[in-house]
């Protein structure tokens, strides 16, 4: 039997699904009666979604449309980081939504601290934008996964690369 088992805790976003959701939101925006004749835009630019509209109310409606499309495409809403609504050019209001990929160092420290506080016989270490958990017992690793699923770290966690 192998001496150590391990898995990685990651936070990934499927950018193709985000692109599909934004395109669906654009189509719905063009069809909606309450947006006819108004200047409303949604643009996807690498790791951020840019929204522009005439007022804050319409921006919130656009965000609602985008969120509903993301949920249908299984994109976690926790991976969206909403910026402030700012005045833009041409009398439009703008908001930028950043798409968070990976686990930041601060969140990684929180995950490692939660694992250490559980007193399970596993080791956790931060590796770039993920956390690797190793231990001798598969049951301990599954207990760690269950523990992390129950807690809210502010990011969507996935468990990958399970090795025994």
Domain ranges of the chain: 5-12+103-163, 15-99
- Contact between 96 and 48 under an 8 Å Cβ cutoff? The reply is yes
Question: What is 15-99's CATH topology?
Answer: Alpha-Beta Plaits (3.30.70)
Q: Is the alpha carbon torsion for 68, 61, 17, 82 positive or negative?
A: negative
Locate 11 and state its tokens.
Answer: 């936070």
Fold agreement (5-12+103-163, 15-99): yes
For 5-12+103-163, CATH gives 3.30.70.860
- Contact between 25 and 62 under an 8 Å Cβ cutoff? The reply is yes
pLDDT of residue 98: 92
pLDDT of residue 56: 87
- Contact between 127 and 104 under an 8 Å Cβ cutoff? The reply is no
Per-10-residue mean pLDDT, the chain, length 164 = 78 90 91 85 90 89 92 89 86 89 87 86 86 87 88 85 81
The pTM score is 0.79
pLDDT of residue 1: 44
């Amino acid at each position: 039997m192998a001496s150590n088992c391990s898995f990685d805790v990651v936070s990934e976003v499927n950018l193709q699904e985000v692109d599909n959701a934004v395109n669906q939101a654009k189509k719905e925006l063009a069809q909606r009666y309450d947006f006819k004749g108004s200047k409303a835009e949604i643009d996807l630019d690498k790791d951020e979604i840019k929204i522009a509209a005439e007022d804050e109310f319409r921006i919130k409606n656009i965000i609602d449309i985008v969120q509903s499309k993301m949920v249908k495409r299984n994109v976690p809403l926790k991976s969206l980081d909403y910026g402030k609504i700012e005045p833009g050019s041409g009398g439009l209001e703008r908001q930028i939504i950043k798409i968070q990929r990976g686990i930041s160092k601060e969140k990684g420290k929180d995950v490692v601290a939660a694992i250490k506080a559980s007193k399970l016989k596993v080791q956790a270490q931060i590796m770039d934008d993920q956390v690797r958990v190793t231990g001798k017992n598969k049951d301990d690793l599954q207990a760690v996964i269950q523990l992390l699923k129950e807690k809210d770290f502010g990011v969507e966690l996935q468990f990958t690369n399970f090795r025994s």
